[in-house]
Structures are given as C-alpha cells and as structure tokens.
Chain A
Amino acid sequence: MRSTMLFAVAALLITAADARGVDPAGSELWEDLSGAYLGEDAKVTFNDSIRLMMADRVESAHEVPIMVKVPHDLRDMQELVLLVDRNPIQQVARITPHRRLESVGMNIRLEESTPVRAAILDPSGIWHVATKSVLVMSAGGCSSPPPDGAVVAAVGDVNIKQFERHGGASRLKVRIHHPMDTGFVVLEDGDVVPPYYVEKVRIEDERGVIADMLTWAAMSRDPVITIDLPTEGQSVRVSGNDSEGLSFEGLENAPLM
C-alpha cells in the first residue's frame, strides 16, 4: 500500500517534471534557460522548500548578495546551479559539492528586473528549482562599469574566513579579488572591456574537497562565496584559475572567529 502511494507520488512528480514544470515566475525565457543549463531532457520540479534569500528590490545591480538555504532532504545534492533569466550572462555558477552543504551564497550581477533561480540536482536526477523575482531599480549590473573602480588587493588574492555556528557547524566565507569583467561594458571612448573572470574554484580542507565550482562573470567583482558545512575544518584551502589562465590559491589555518 505504502509503496503504491510512493509510486503514485513519484509518477505525478515525473509527469510534472517532463514539461520542465510550470514556471511560477511566468518567464517566457524559462523554457530555453532550463533547456540550455539543466538539459533538454531535464526533469524539473519547482520546490518551495529551497529558500532563495535576496532583496526583492535591488538598487546596486553590480553586487546583489544572495543565499540559498538547502533543505535537509536535498543536502545530498549532486549539483547546484544559479541562473538569471534576463542577464546577458545567464549562468552564474555551477557548484558540485563533495560533502553535504547546508547553504551556499554569493554576490551576483543583475542586468535588469528578472527571475533568479537556484536549481538543485537530487541523486535521482530531478532538478529542484527555487525562483525569486527581483525588481532592479537601476539596470546595468552586467553592462555598465561598477560604481567605484578601485580594487585594492591584487588580482587573485584570496581571503578566507571561517565562522562558528551552532553544534560544531561552520560557515566558510571566501573572497577572491578579481575584476570579473563581463565583456559587456563599453567605456566612454567606445572601447569594450574584454571579458576576464574566475572560471574555476575548488574549496577543500584537511578531509578532502568540499566543493568544486564553475563560475562566470555574472558573479560580482571581488566575488564572495559563502558555504555552510555541518562541521568545522582545521585548514581550509581555496584554489582556482581565471579565464586568462591565472592560478590562485589561499590558505587559512587561523582559529575560528
């Protein structure tokens, strides 16, 4: 009896998923977006239990902090993908966790008012998608120069902080100093700033790799990546490379804050 019920629920879920779900944001771009970045044959369900935290009204479109809270039943996720429908760079990041992650955050660019998506691939191959529609008051997060040009640290400098949370859990906060040029900014003299951005990031500690990330210039300048883990690491290492082949690395052995 119980297995029949489960089967029925699963069948319903798959049926809905076949059509890549009905987009709660009603975006005409969703069909193409999900096809391109989750797969043409992707099974998709919109899932309210994933919390996508961000302001619903944005004035500083170059740097919009977001945080994805992963529900318990999805913490064995295979991949987490962040997408922005109406960006010239729609794909922000693809994160492959090698350990259970409780939340993932970063700061991103928004070109204009748009739905933002956090898509989580469960081990059975179904994408669970959270959607948030954001009103961008001052467009151009991808295509206009950022508000102040000063980048203090050298490109590739990595800054790692670890914070204690309840019950031995921890939060890792990684800042990578990088211009993250989108390739869509046209200067006063008509020159286009060519794309230049962080492509790959690996985060690990003494127990092995925590997560691998593929990233694009829809992450903000000097991107900040936040990851919540159920445990504390002793020594955290962040490494990666950018689109010009520059490798970078940062280590943190300092005690927890």
Chain B
Amino acid sequence: MTPKACRLKDSRTPLSCSRRAAGLARAAACLILFTTVAWDAVGASYGLRPQPVAPGVYVFPGSQDALTPDNGANIANTGFIVGSREVLAVEAGPTRRYGKEMLAAIRSVTDLPVRYAVITHRHPDHSFGLGAFREAGIDVLMHPAEAEGLANEGPALLEFMTALVGEAWTQGTTIEAPSETLTEDRHVDLGDRPVDILVLEGGHSSGDLVVHDRTSGVAFFGDLLFVGRAATVPHADIGVWLMHLDRLESLPWTTGVPGHGPILDDPARFADTRDWIRFLRSRILEAVLTGESPAEVLDPGVPEPFAGMVEAGPTFGRAVLQLYRRYEAMDPAELDALAQ
C-alpha cells in the first residue's frame, strides 16, 4: 500500500489511476487522525522531560495540538510510577522513537528496572511506541480487544500517521503486540507501592485501562478523560462511557492525569468530556429521529460552549458522521433506549 494520494491534475484528462487499495487504510485512519502537510523532521527528538506530579510519579505532557510534523504525534500524556523495587510505565507514546526516549528519560530519574508498561487503549498516539518496551523485555499490558484492534488497524494507521508527521519520527516504528492481555482489574506491587490497573470495557474503546497509584493518589485516566480537548468517539459507546466517568470520579484519587490536557486536582473538569459526549449523543440522536441530514447538523459549526476546545471542529465533523451512521442503523427500540 502507498500512502500517496492519487491526484487528478486536471479532471478533463481521462483518469487512469492505478492506485492500490490504499483507500481503506486512509479512510480508517481518518477516523482518528487528521491531515497536515508532511515534512521530514531531520534529527527529530521529543525532548521528553519527566514532570513530577507526586513523590515517585512523573508525567510527560503531550502537546495540545493536532498531529503535526512539529510534534511527531506527541499529543497524549504518558508517565511512570516508581516503587522501591521497580517501575511501571503508562502508555508507550506514538512511535518507537518516543518509546525509546521515554525509557531513557525514566532512567534519568531512577536506575530501577521498568517492569510493566500499561497501554490504556489501541489509539496510535498511546500505543505505537510499544515495540521499544517489548525489545527491552518489559511486560506490556493491554486489553485483548484493543490488542486485536491494534493488530488489525495498526499498519494502515501507521502509514497514515507517517504521512502526517513525517518518516523522521516514525522510522523504525512497527506494530507490535502486547506481551500480556487483561480483562479484569489487576493489582501489582512495585515495591512498597501498590498500583491498581482497572479495566473499563466498552466505553471510550473496547477496553480502556486506568492506572491508579494508591500511595500518591495519582490516577492515569487514559482517553476516558479529555480535558480542554474534544474527545474522539470512533469506537465509543457514550452511555457506557458516562458510567465509567462516574466510577472514575468516585475513585480515591487526588491527582488526575487525562489522556489529553492538563493535570487535575479535582473532578470539575470531568465536565469537559462528559458534557461534550452527552451533547454529541443527544444532538445526533435528535437528527436521526427527525430525519435531519448530517450536512444540516454540521452546517452551523460547533456550538458553544464546545467551540473553543482544541480540535473541536475536526472532531465534531468526524463524530457526527460516525455516530449518525451508528444510530441510523439502530431499530426504534434501541433508539428509544438511547434517548432515555
């Protein structure tokens, strides 16, 4: 497959385009990513600096931008927790280069071995760096449905991401499987440091993992929580997602690390995700029930108070089409249940 688009120079000339079936790749990738002009980031480095958020807990904050050649797809928050015996990493970042830099940055803080890497879900900005962790012999944990999704969609998405951010960043990145999958909550001890890995299925993705450090009260919420940025819904069941948010809000956490956006010390900003996905559900459900076209839903643009969120426009454009198609395929009973 080739990521290059087949351009028609002039539609008056006959079209003989021998493009391979890259359409599938591109279209699938578009559900999650978005385009900018690609250029080569020669000598690119993510410049990762661990930011302490609690004793023994560090975050590498991602950029609040779109995927660009400037940020090399470093848009998600990642981090790690240091026990008295070993270290647990959260996420692997968007590329093998990122994964390697992340491991090096962890070593700048501690000599203890990294034992686990928890990948919260399949999306490229969180998972594509996992090869670096596997080759270092680290236990990489994921939900099995997400591992399967990564294996199926990964190659096309990697191709698409490379077109967006440039090969200088993605070079050496391969789609790898986790070493272990889990469908039930897991408790691990990093040495005087009990950590819970929670499994929350069928909300934002098929199986999101949340990491909760009992000692410090830091919780890594993955993409169940977007702060200041429009949450994406390609694999989402919004009703379940809202229930998961309630559960996360009630956990005994004091510092919350969202998948995207600034770190929280109280749950007020849960509204950023909650209100947005509620709005998406009700607006699109209304459109399906009254026969409105997605074109009519999109026409006025993103309404307040959501318009100011990062990536609100492109995310809205994608979400309307994704959810409209899904709701339209439901029978009246399912729609009724959704409307309750």
Q: Report which of A54, A87, A173 forms a contact with B295, defined as CB distance below 8 A.
A: A54
Q: For B22, list chain A residues within 8 Å (CB).
A: 140, 144
Over the window 182-218 of chain A, the binary record of Cβ atoms lying under 8 Å from chain B Cβ atoms (1 yes, 0 no) is 0011111010000000000000000000000000000
Cross-chain contact A144 with B317 (CB below 8 angstroms): no
CA gap between A62 and B313 in the complex, in Å: 20
CA gap between A161 and B290 in the complex, in Å: 10
B75 to chain A, nearest CB (A): 17
Confirm or deny: B42 has a beta carbon within 8 angstroms of a beta carbon on chain A. Answer: no
Cross-chain contact A186 with B291 (CB below 8 angstroms): no
Taking A67-B293, A161-B291, A173-B291 as contacts, is the C-beta distance between A147 and B23 under 8 angstroms? yes
Confirm or deny: B5 has a beta carbon within 8 angstroms of a beta carbon on chain A. Answer: yes
CA gap between A188 and B2 in the complex, in Å: 11
Cross-chain contact A138 with B293 (CB below 8 angstroms): no
CB nearest neighbor in B for A28: B10
Confirm or deny: B340 has a beta carbon within 8 angstroms of a beta carbon on chain A. Answer: no
CA gap between A140 and B3 in the complex, in Å: 11
Over the window 281-300 of chain B, the binary record of Cβ atoms lying under 8 Å from chain A Cβ atoms (1 yes, 0 no) is 00000000111011110110
Q: Report which of B5, B7, B8, B318 forms a contact with A59, defined as CB distance below 8 A.
A: B318
Confirm or deny: A90 has a beta carbon within 8 angstroms of a beta carbon on chain B. Answer: yes
Confirm or deny: A163 has a beta carbon within 8 angstroms of a beta carbon on chain B. Answer: yes
A68 to chain B, nearest CB (A): 9
A204 to chain B, nearest CB (A): 19
Q: For B23, list chain A residues within 8 Å (CB).
A: 62, 140, 143-147, 185
Q: For B21, list chain A residues within 8 Å (CB).
A: 144-145, 186-188
CB nearest neighbor in B for A52: B295
Confirm or deny: B306 has a beta carbon within 8 angstroms of a beta carbon on chain A. Answer: no
Q: Report which of A60, A66, A226 forms a contact with B30, defined as CB distance below 8 A.
A: A60
A26 to chain B, nearest CB (A): 15
Taking A140-B19, A188-B21 as contacts, is the C-beta distance between A87 and B313 under 8 angstroms? no
Over the window 52-69 of chain A, the binary record of Cβ atoms lying under 8 Å from chain B Cβ atoms (1 yes, 0 no) is 011101111111011100
CA gap between A184 and B23 in the complex, in Å: 12
Confirm or deny: A117 has a beta carbon within 8 angstroms of a beta carbon on chain B. Answer: no
Cross-chain contact A112 with B15 (CB below 8 angstroms): no
Confirm or deny: B321 has a beta carbon within 8 angstroms of a beta carbon on chain A. Answer: yes
Which one of B17, B27, B290, B296 has the highest number of Cβ atoms from chain A below 10 Å of its Cβ?
A: B27
B212 to chain A, nearest CB (A): 35
CB nearest neighbor in B for A29: B11
CA gap between A209 and B27 in the complex, in Å: 38
Which residues, 24 to 66 on A, are CB-close (under 8 Å) to B? 29, 32, 53-55, 57-63, 65-66
Q: Report which of B12, B15, B24, B34 forms a contact with A143, defined as CB distance below 8 A.
A: B15
Cross-chain contact B295 with A59 (CB below 8 angstroms): no
CA gap between A111 and B17 in the complex, in Å: 12
Q: Report which of A140, A146, A171 forms a contact with B291, defined as CB distance below 8 A.
A: A171
Confirm or deny: B54 has a beta carbon within 8 angstroms of a beta carbon on chain A. Answer: no
CA gap between A59 and B320 in the complex, in Å: 12
Cross-chain contact A62 with B27 (CB below 8 angstroms): yes
Q: For B19, list chain A residues within 8 Å (CB).
A: 140, 143-144, 186
Cross-chain contact B293 with A65 (CB below 8 angstroms): yes
Cross-chain contact B295 with A112 (CB below 8 angstroms): no
Over the window 72-89 of chain A, the binary record of Cβ atoms lying under 8 Å from chain B Cβ atoms (1 yes, 0 no) is 000000000000011110
Which residues, 1 to 60 on B, are CB-close (under 8 Å) to A? 5-8, 10-12, 15, 17-24, 26-31, 34-35
Q: Report which of A88, A139, A184, A190 forms a contact with B5, defined as CB distance below 8 A.
A: A139
Confirm or deny: B314 has a beta carbon within 8 angstroms of a beta carbon on chain A. Answer: yes
Q: Report which of A60, A86, A144 forms a contact with B8, defined as CB distance below 8 A.
A: A86
Which residues, 43 to 85 on B, are CB-close (under 8 Å) to A? none
CA gap between A257 and B287 in the complex, in Å: 13
B38 to chain A, nearest CB (A): 13
Q: For B318, list chain A residues within 8 Å (CB).
A: 59
CA gap between A105 and B295 in the complex, in Å: 9
Q: For A257, list chain B residues within 8 Å (CB).
A: 289, 291
Q: For A161, list chain B residues within 8 Å (CB).
A: 291
Q: For A29, list chain B residues within 8 Å (CB).
A: 10-12
Over the window 80-116 of chain B, the binary record of Cβ atoms lying under 8 Å from chain A Cβ atoms (1 yes, 0 no) is 0000000000000000000000000000000000000
CA gap between A113 and B332 in the complex, in Å: 37
B310 to chain A, nearest CB (A): 16
Q: Report which of A62, A143, A163, A173 forms a contact with B6, defined as CB distance below 8 A.
A: A143
Q: For B18, list chain A residues within 8 Å (CB).
A: 186, 190
Over the window 122-148 of chain A, the binary record of Cβ atoms lying under 8 Å from chain B Cβ atoms (1 yes, 0 no) is 000000000000000111100111111
A32 to chain B, nearest CB (A): 6
Cross-chain contact A226 with B24 (CB below 8 angstroms): no
Cross-chain contact A140 with B313 (CB below 8 angstroms): no
| Top 7 closest pairs, chain A to chain B, by CB | A144-B23, A163-B291, A147-B27, A139-B5, A59-B30, A88-B15, A65-B295
Interface residues of A (CB under 8 A from B): 29, 32, 53-55, 57-63, 65-67, 85-88, 90, 105, 111-112, 137-140, 143-148, 161, 163, 171, 173, 184-188, 190, 226, 257
**13 sampled A-B residue pairs with Cβ under 8 A:** A53-B295, A54-B295, A58-B317, A62-B23, A65-B298, A65-B321, A88-B11, A137-B30, A144-B23, A144-B27, A148-B24, A173-B291, A187-B21
